[in-house]
A and B are shown apart, each in its own frame.
Chain A
Amino acid sequence: MVDSITLGESLRRQGVSRRGFMKFCAATASMMALPPSMVPAIAASLEKARRPSVIWLSFQECTGCTESLTRSHAPTVEGLIFDFISLDYHHTLQAAAGDQAEAAREAAMHENAGKYIVVVDGSIPGPNSNPGYSTIAGISNYDTLMETVKGAAAVVAVGTCAAFGGLPKADPNPTGAVAIQSVVKDKPVVNVPGCPPIPTVITGVLAHFLTFGKLPELDHLGRPVAFYGQSIHDRCYRRPFYDKGLFAETFDDEGARKGWCLYRLGCKGPMTYNACATAKWNLGTSWPVESGHGCLGCSEPNFWDAGGFYQALSIPTSNVTRTAAAAVAAGAAIGIAAGIANKVKKSGAKAKHQTVTVDQLGEG
């Protein structure tokens, strides 16, 4: 349950020094995709932050999202954040079962009315579907969700199933699956899609709420802009090859061996917004494109029905010939140019596709 100690006190009780705390804040800023200049503000807020109650509801899902989160090996920063929240209900992780488990959920809702966060993974059979497709303790997923979110401060839809319907909603959608935001209308809903989402992105959203007491800025699909603000394509280290018109045509040709662009092998990077290219997977080891496979577009709505994982997107996202010439002249990748420093130049570069030279990068 929620207690009154602050995160600063909690960390000091664990023997964390102030230098350790500043290191924690630097890593948290990095995890939240906030600029390093925000670290002092983050430190001041986290010092005073209090432990929020979290109720985690799992519906039509595969537990991959929880697996992703718990693969953040303690004591990472994610682990410390996760330790600091009061996880009062989670099917997979809680020791209680049956009536006791449901009693824990009701107690958390009652004691923290108006303040707790509901995290949902999995889609639910919609209000007009047969509720028997997915029930917990004899209660339909829809009823459980609506009852639980009633007193919540915010709802976080973790994973593509909760955010957009995901695999259960794929054609022909036998269970009548719907996304959480299509039924929860009177509470703020944050979508953290991905199949599964990147663990640091899940904890980054919770950390943002913990740090600032409010939800992060969201895009038109309800996703945090800090993590989903740029496409995989724009952040891809293979982007220079796209700009130069160098593509792998099969998975074992010269282009594949030399790490050329996977666009023609069905990469959905140009239409996919996620943080894989920078946050990476397995403790920063790699990510799908670095491993030689195109992006599946798993953080986008209806990605299962997007026409085949190995089918190239039909329309190039830009004039390859024009950008190729510009990229060669600049001698560097617009992909990384879009990633650093100057926001004005960055947005200009995005709008016109190529206006920044390598010499201008990071100019004040």
Chain B
Amino acid sequence: MSALDQIAIRVETEDRFARNALPVLHEVRHALRRLVEAGESTTIDLYSMPFGPGDEEDLLAGLGTGEVAAQLAALGESRITETIYPGVWIVDHYNTHGQRIAFQIEVTPVPSVLVAHADDMADGLQRLEAALAEPAEPESWPASNELRSQHG
């Protein structure tokens, strides 16, 4: 985070959904209807939205925080949070310096970045089989990160 984040900005708004959050909430509504009725997933790129001060906060307040929160540690942290509307997820990607690199709403049963990749699963199976084939005491088994760097 930079020092700029510490500067308090007073935002004057007349009411919460008077500005740019409301159209996005409607876009989410249409996307959720497509998911419910046709099983079609949608990703909305919030980076390309012309948000002004307070709009992102309004949108996140409008979507709320639901039952599921996941954290991904790959190229920096990613926070994947379900909103109070099941199937509507906030996917917030950061780099290793904590700077946001992508910010999306995914309207889908499970966000694609959480699903294990087929190649990774096959690779994992090979590593597990190799680890079990070696006669070693459990406490001498390498930790997950070491295992990856040794075999992968």
Contacts and interface: CB of A to CB of B under 8 A. Distances in A.
A285 interface: yes
Interface stretch (A111-119, A141-149, A300-308, A331-339): A331-339
B42 to A, nearest CB: 8
Given A23-B113, A26-B104, A362-B30, A337 B50 contact: no
B8 to A, nearest CB: 14
Nearest to A338: B50
Interface residues of B, number: 48
Given A22-B113, A331-B22, A358-B26, A77 B95 contact: yes
B53 interface: yes
A346 interface: no
Contact of B119 (A18, A73, A240, A331): A18
A259 B100 CA distance: 25
A24 B75 contact: yes
B2 A277 contact: no
A36 interface: yes
B81 interface: no
Given A37-B43, A282-B4, A361 B74 contact: no
Contact of A362 (B27, B40, B95): B27
Interface residues on A, range: 35 or more
Contacts of A258: 12
B45 interface: yes
Contacts, number: 143
Contacts of A73: 97, 99
A340 interface: yes
Given A20-B74, A358-B23, A278 B2 contact: no
Nearest to A332: B23
B93 A15 contact: no
A361 B30 contact: yes
B99 A283 contact: yes
B78 to A, nearest CB: 6
B37 to A, nearest CB: 10
22 contacts: A19-B72, A20-B74, A20-B75, A23-B93, A23-B102, A27-B101, A30-B101, A36-B104, A37-B43, A75-B76, A76-B97, A77-B101, A240-B19, A257-B12, A277-B50, A278-B48, A279-B47, A285-B2, A332-B23, A335-B20, A361-B23, A364-B40
Interface of B: 2, 4, 12, 19-20, 22-24, 26-31, 34, 40, 43-45, 47-53, 55, 72, 74-76, 78, 91, 93, 95-97, 99-102, 104, 112-113, 117, 119-120, 149
